[in-house]
Amino acid sequence: MKTRIFTLVMVAGLAVLPACSKADAAKPVQSPAANHQELGTKITHVNAVQSSAWIKKDADIIVLDIRTPKEFNSGHIDGAININFYDADFASQLSALDMSKDYVVHCRSGGRSGKSLATFKNLGFKHIVHMDGGMKAWNKARLPIVK
């Protein structure tokens, strides 16, 4: 008897559920990444030589070196800003920057800067140019540094 009542309740409950319309079914489900694109976040991957050309071409682009201060002081791209990826308040320091500007972001070899891309997206930066290979690639290409 309990089984019949349960079955009856279940069938009756299903009958009152609203049906999805064809219009609802046709709506695409957007991933979080798609939402970031709508907000204007764009990530461009370039090598060191391309990065150097981009920096020379665009006087407004900001170079953001996310290595440790010790690494930064051993040699960095002229005009670069240093924000240490390992700082506990790394995201907070990034959020103080002008997110509407374009940034070339790099570290020593690309690992930390690659991991940081999600943070830039989450914060809503407009455009990040990621220098693949980092300062190792920059030095290998014999591009200029300052100490």
Cβ neighbors of 134 (< 8 A, separation 6 or more) are 106, 107, 108, 109, 110, 111, 113
**Dihedral sign from CA coordinates of 48, 54, 56, 59:** negative
Residues forming the active site: 107
Q: Which one-letter DSSP state was computed for residue 87?
A: S
H-type helices in the chain, by residue range? 2-16, 22-26, 32-39, 48-57, 69-73, 90-95, 111-123, 134-140
Radius of gyration of the chain (CA): 24
Counting every residue written for the chain, the total comes to: 147
